[in-house]
């Protein structure tokens, strides 16, 4: 939902980042306001996940230029855990398996960290169980997954549901969902999309990283951006995604060749 | 007495001499054994790093401990016992079994039985002249000897808390598990000061006998622990040992298992944690003296600070041990650049038709897991704790249920 006087939640300006000595992001510009849903598309390797990880504060990437402001703060100076607590959420493309750490406990510790930051009281184990049971419904996840180790032995789709469950518990202001649709079957895609739609409201915003129109049929983006070689090369409304579906990314290569940056 | 001048004597040899000097004359039921072992010990060079078996295990800090025997122990701060547990508190000189009502299936070994069975274990016989054993027998005032018949429903809990006493305490336990008997044993060793605990547990598992043995050993930076476990297993017997050791200035754990005619099952789970300048060394030895034996061994270590962790796992599969199935895995977690981990599997396989797997990994906390937790609002120290706890819990959960009253996980994590 676009609302011209909505507050800006996140403002990315000329962001450059590298891993080791290899530049990956080469000047990303993107502004997201409250209430908006943005889709980020682009070829494999164009830098989408890198952008999401830089926003989450992954230590492997170093920012060499540019800035990211989140709700008026300099996001890049904050630790990953602080970013999460103030409402930045990354739904991982490849959620990490953590053997031996109980999913339920992990979810509780994480939820409480965010609640404390918001000035809400911590939930004890019983109160949290009620809360999590309610949120499970949103992604129609089997409660049995709570008793297992974090993501351990989960199928691809189950991991993605677990990510959205975390989003539902943490109630972020900016949620970056990196290929949440990959690994989901048709039914699961519908369920997860319905969950995300339910969580979307006028106060928060979502950045959806995806390759597929079928997700954008279910979660309707206000803006679509195309990334190539570490920058956003084109932005438009949802018709841009349809155009990509029809014509592919060939035009991007040509554009880049003309710029001499491939 | 005139002594020939000796070029160089290690501090530990001097310490041993002083200790022997100060001991009361041999007395009590173990007097004969004490006398023999004292003689042995007198001429036995103390372990030092030039001996292969002690290469990474410097016992020098023991020489800092007062060379005297501890005669009485304070009552340990122990959790309330439930009715599934029979607790025996070792108080050095007093008979720890006095006044204890043994659960059904457990009886005391009388003196004749003790004399007959003590030191009979095959591997003890071959370890004559092993310094920690001789030291134990030189001073242990008694042997806690028990016979197990049938299934013992209650867990037997042996608690020995050296407290902040200065000196040496020796505990010796002998268990005979008769055919098809079953026992759960929890051994708790504690210390809170500059002392040495020497403990030897001898076990005979007859056919079909099952022992679940848990060792929970929580020490103090100035304390030392020398723990020797010697088990003889007859075919179809089962031993499941889980040990958790942390906090000792110096700790040496020596589980020696012998499958007398193969065909038995041995499961070993160990966790040792070192921090600051601590040293923990596990030297395990499993021997298959016949066919179709099985071993499942997991050794885990966590090294922080300047700590040093050593694991040496010998598995002997001679020609007669065909169709042995042995697996040994060592997994270590290095939490600091100054800590050290030395791990060495030693598979001595002569038989040809066997399955023997081994593996060893040393790693740091998984960065991607840490980041994942952190990206969910969990601060780095808490994220590290969650991962560490998961690492430790794999062994801790194998301790007998009674161990949980001692809150091993909380104590371990508080100390790292
Ligand atoms: N940690 C890393 N180490 C080395 N190369 C990386 C790392 N992360 C990303 N890259 C490289 O950066 C480029 C962009 O990757 P990524 O952001 O994952 O792309 P996308 O998500 O758009 O498919 C790729 O060429 C990838 O190999
Ligand atoms: Mg990606």
Of A58, A81, A96, the CB nearest to B378: A81
Q: What is the pLDDT of residue A262?
A: 46
pLDDT in tens, chain A (262 residues): 888 899 999 999 999 999 999 999 999 999 999 999 999 999 999 999 999 999 999 999 999 999 999 999 999 999 999 999 999 999 999 999 999 999 999 999 999 999 999 999 999 999 999 999 999 999 999 999 999 999 999 999 999 999 999 999 999 999 999 999 998 999 999 999 999 999 999 999 999 999 999 999 999 999 999 999 999 999 999 999 999 888 888 888 777 777 765 4
Helix (H) or strand (E) holding B74: none
The position carrying tokens 């072992």 is B37
Last residue of a domain, one of B260, B286, B304: B260
Task: Identify whether B407 is part of a domain.
Answer: yes
CATH number at residue A179: 3.40.50.300
Please name which of A114, A82, A87, A80 lies closest in space to residue A10, comparing C-alpha atoms: A87
Phi, psi (deg, nearest 5) at residue A201: -150, -175
Contact flag B375-A90 (C-beta cutoff 8 Å): yes
Q: What is the pLDDT of residue A26?
A: 97
Q: What is the number of the ligand closest to the CA of A91? A: 2
Cα–Cα distance for residue pair B321/B350, rounded to 1 Å: 8
State pTM to two decimals.
Answer: 0.90
Cα–Cα distance for residue pair A168/A163, rounded to 1 Å: 9
Based on the domain organization, do B56 and B200 belong to the same domain? yes
* Global ipTM: 0.96
Structurally, chain A folds into a number of domains equal to 1
Tell which wins on pLDDT, A244 or B184.
Answer: B184
Residues of B at the A interface, defined by Cβ within 8 angstroms: 366-369, 371-380, 382-383, 386-387, 389-391, 393-394
The boundaries of the domain holding residue B185 are 3-260
Is A50 in CB contact (< 8 Å) with chain B?
no
The boundaries of the domain holding residue A74 are 8-94+173-259
* pLDDT bucket at B129, cuts 50 / 70 / 90: confident
When pLDDT is averaged across residues B238-260 and rounded to a whole number, the result is 97
Based on the domain organization, do B19 and B147 belong to the same domain? yes
Task: Identify whether B270 is part of a domain.
Answer: no
Task: Identify whether B253 is part of a domain.
Answer: yes
Last residue of a domain, one of B260, B283, B318: B260
Contact flag A84-B375 (C-beta cutoff 8 Å): yes
Q: Is the CB of A21 under 6 A from ligand 1?
A: no
When pLDDT is averaged across residues B378-390 and rounded to a whole number, the result is 95
Q: Is the CB of A45 under 6 A from ligand 1?
A: yes
What are the strands, taking DSSP E only, across chain A? 8-19, 22-33, 37-41, 61-70, 73-74, 88-91, 98-102, 149-150, 174-178, 205-209, 223-228, 231-236
Task: Identify whether B242 is part of a domain.
Answer: yes
The position carrying tokens 């089997």 is A142
Based on the domain organization, do B243 and B391 belong to the same domain? no
Last residue of a domain, one of B196, B230, B260: B260
Task: Identify whether B351 is part of a domain.
Answer: no
Q: What is the pLDDT of residue B127?
A: 66
What is the overall mean pLDDT for chain B?
93
Task: Identify whether B110 is part of a domain.
Answer: yes
Q: For residue A42, how many other CB atoms are within 10 A of its CB?
A: 24
Nearest ligand 1 atom to alpha carbon A47? 17
Task: Identify whether B415 is part of a domain.
Answer: yes
Structurally, chain B folds into a number of domains equal to 2
Contact flag A84-B374 (C-beta cutoff 8 Å): yes
């Amino acid at each position: 939902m676009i609302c011209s006087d909505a507050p800006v939640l996140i403002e990315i300006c000329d962001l450059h980042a590298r891993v080791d000595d290899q530049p990956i992001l080469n000047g990303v510009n993107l502004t997201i306001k409250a209430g908006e849903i943005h889709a980020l598309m682009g070829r494999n390797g164009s830098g989408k996940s890198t952008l999401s990880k830089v926003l989450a504060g992954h230590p492997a990437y170093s920012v060499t230029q540019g800035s990211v402001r989140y709700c008026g703060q300099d996001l890049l100076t904050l630790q990953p855990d602080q970013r999460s607590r103030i409402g930045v959420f990354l739904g991982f493309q490849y959620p990490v398996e953590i053997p031996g750490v109980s999913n339920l406990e992990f979810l509780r510790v994480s939820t409480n960290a965010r609640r404390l930051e918001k000035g809400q009281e911590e939930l004890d184990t019983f109160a949290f169980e009620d809360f999590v049971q309610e949120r499970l419904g949103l992604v129609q996840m089997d409660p049995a997954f709570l008793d297992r180790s974090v993501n351990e032995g989960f199928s691809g789709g189950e991991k993605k549901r677990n990510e959205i469950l975390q989003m539902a518990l943490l109630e972020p202001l900016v949620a970056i969902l990196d290929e949440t649709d990959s690994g989901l079957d048709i039914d699961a895609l519908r369920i997860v999309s319905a969950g995300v739609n339910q969580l979307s409201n006028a106060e928060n915003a979502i950045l959806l990283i995806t390759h597929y129109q079928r997700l954008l049929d279910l979660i309707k983006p206000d803006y679509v951006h195309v990334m190539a070689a570490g920058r956003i090369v084109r932005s438009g409304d949802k018709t841009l995604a349809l155009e990509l579906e029809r014509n592919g990314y060939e035009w991007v290569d040509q554009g880049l060749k003309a710029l001499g940056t491939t | 007495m005139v002594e020939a001048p000796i070029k160089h004597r290690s501090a530990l040899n001097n310490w041993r001499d002083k200790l022997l000097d100060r001991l009361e004359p041999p007395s009590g039921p173990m007097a004969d054994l004490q006398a023999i072992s004292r003689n042995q010990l007198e001429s036995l060079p103390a372990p030092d790093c030039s001996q292969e078996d002690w290469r990474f295990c410097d016992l020098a800090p023991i020489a800092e401990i007062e060379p005297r025997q501890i005669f009485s122990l304070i009552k340990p701060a122990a959790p309330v016992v439930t009715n599934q547990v029979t607790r025996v508190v070792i108080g050095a000189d007093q008979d720890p079994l006095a006044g204890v009502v043994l659960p059904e299936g457990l009886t005391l070994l009388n003196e004749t039985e003790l004399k007959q069975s003590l030191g009979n274990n095959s591997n003890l016989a071959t370890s004559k002249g092993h310094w920690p054993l001789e030291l134990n027998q030189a001073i242990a005032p008694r042997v806690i000897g028990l016979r197990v018949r049938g299934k013992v429903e209650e867990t037997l809990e042996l608690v020995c808390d050296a407290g902040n006493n200065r000196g040496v305490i020796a505990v010796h336990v002998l268990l005979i598990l008769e055919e098809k008997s079953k026992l759960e044993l929890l051994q708790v060793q504690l210390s809170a000061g500059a002392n040495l605990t020497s403990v030897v547990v001898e076990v005979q598992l007859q056919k079909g006998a099952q022992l679940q043995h848990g060792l929970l050993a929580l020490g103090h930076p100035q304390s030392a622990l020398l723990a020797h476990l010697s088990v003889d297993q007859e075919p179809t017997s089962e031993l499941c040992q889980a040990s958790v050791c942390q906090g000792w200035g110096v700790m040496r754990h020596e589980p020696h298992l012998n499958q007398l005619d193969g065909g038995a099952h041995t499961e070993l789970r160990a966790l040792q944690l070192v921090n600051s300048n601590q040293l923990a060394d596990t030297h395990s030895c499993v021997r298959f003296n016949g066919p179709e034996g099985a071993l499942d061994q997991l050794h885990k270590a966590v090294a922080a600070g300047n700590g040093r962790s050593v694991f040496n796992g010998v598995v002997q599969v001679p020609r007669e041990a065909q169709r042995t199935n042995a697996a040994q895995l060592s997994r270590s977690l290095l939490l600091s650049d100054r800590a050290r981990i030395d791990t060495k599997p030693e598979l001595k396989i002569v038989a040809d038709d066997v399955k023997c797997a081994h593996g060893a990994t040393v790693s740091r906390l998984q960065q991607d897991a840490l980041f994942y937790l952190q990206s969910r609002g969990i601060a780095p120290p808490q994220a590290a704790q969650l991962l560490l706890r998961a690492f430790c819990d794999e062994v801790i959960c194998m301790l007998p249920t009674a161990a949980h009253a001692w809150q091993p996980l909380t104590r371990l994590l508080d100390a790292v």
